[in-house]
Amino acid sequence: MDKTNWKLLELLEQNGRLTYAELGKLVHLTAPAVAERIRKLEESGVITGYSAQVNLEKVGIPITALVECQVYRTKEREFKTLIMSLGEVIECYNVTGPYAFVLKVGVKSMSKLDALLERLIDLSDTNTMMIMTTPVKRIMPLNIAQDS
Amino acid sequence: MDKTNWKLLELLEQNGRLTYAELGKLVHLTAPAVAERIRKLEESGVITGYSAQVNLEKVGIPITALVECQVYRTKEREFKTLIMSLGEVIECYNVTGPYAFVLKVGVKSMSKLDALLERLIDLSDTNTMMIMTTPVKRIMPLNIAQDS
DNA sequence: ATTGAAATTACCGTTGA
DNA sequence: TCAACGGTAATTTCAAT
């Protein structure tokens, strides 16, 4: 992980479809050299994939929320199975503290959110926070390289 | 947003570097036809960008946490400015409820997390949940198209 | 369909441990 | 000396018109 690789990661975070030639210009290498570095980053698991970023509002998902779930002791396995089967769940974090799980969900309407919470409430106590804005969204911290 | 566009979005969510030719085979269209559809999706703001996915552990960020911040009434603007300047903040959500902001942060060490919380505590009361696992991570809900 | 650009492969040279 | 890395060139595939 030299300075060039950090730069490549930053560039690919910002635009995952940059060509090797374009990346090469930005890091002062030729296209094959860049391709080889990226191949190694992928092979070693540093880069796990690439994905398009989608505006949820524009695909009919105007409502997103964070749902904290205090799962009943005996229902943990069942809960995990459930949330992995729910398409509305965009992200799920298993965390420390009384709320063992925090979900980020996306829905078409408040009634859909209600229906979703109804399904969760059999297995957990929930606390829902509606997301109003997302001032920051990155894929990794900034300034990792130089940060001691 | 016909069925083909949904399929394209799903495919690009899974692999944002698929070529138009490859996408074309998967949706039974020619490459130029796919290119035109994707150009429109980008132009209309449905697709907002592309990015690489990075394994944070492998780049020296073994610790991630969710931090709920109950920001002091008079410090909201200052708080927002601060979190947007902090590289450790990967995601920030402005939400309803007493905890006005929920952050996802990534750090190299517990002492770094401590230092980060020290900076936040001047402007807010915080509650920190360490992320242990991430059972689900997507960019949009599943089954949007057929979902009523 | 055609043209230019990009990806991919193979091969060679340089460097530094 | 040899292993790692980058450059060059040729071929194939892709993008764009």
CA of A48, C1' of D17: distance in angstroms: 35
A–B: how many Cβ contacts below 8 A? 231
Residue B148 has pLDDT above 80, yes or no: no
For A3-51, CATH number out of 3.40.1390.10, 3.40.50.720, 1.10.3470.10, 1.10.10.10 equals 1.10.10.10
Round to whole Å and give the CA distance between B67 and B77.
18
Q: How many Å lie between the alpha carbon of A124 and the closest alpha carbon of chain B? A: 17
Task: Identify the CATH number of the domain defined by range A56-130.
Answer: 3.30.70.920
Taking residues B111-119, report their average pLDDT.
Answer: 97
CA of A56, C1' of D12: distance in angstroms: 38
Instruction: Tell me the average pLDDT of chain B.
Output: 96
Q: Please state, for a pLDDT cut of 90, what percent of chain A lies above it.
A: 95
Round to whole Å and give the CA distance between B15 and B52.
10
pTM score? 0.93
Which positions in chain A touch B135 (Cβ < 8 Å)?
Answer: 80, 83-84, 92, 94
Residue with token string 């799980």: A101
Tokens representing residue A24 in the block: 């090469």
Under 8 Å between Cβ of B41 and B78: no
Which segments of chain A belong to CATH 1.10.10.10? 3-51
User: β-strand B63-71 against A63-71: which pairing, if any?
Assistant: unpaired
Residue B18 has pLDDT above 80, yes or no: yes
Which segments of chain B belong to CATH 3.30.70.920? 56-130
Q: Is the CB of A37 under 7 A from strand D?
A: yes
Confidence label for A148 from pLDDT (cuts 50, 70 and 90): low
Taking residues B65-80, report their average pLDDT.
Answer: 96
Q: Which nucleotides of D are covered by protein (CB under 7 A)?
A: 5-9, 13-17
pLDDT at A103: 98
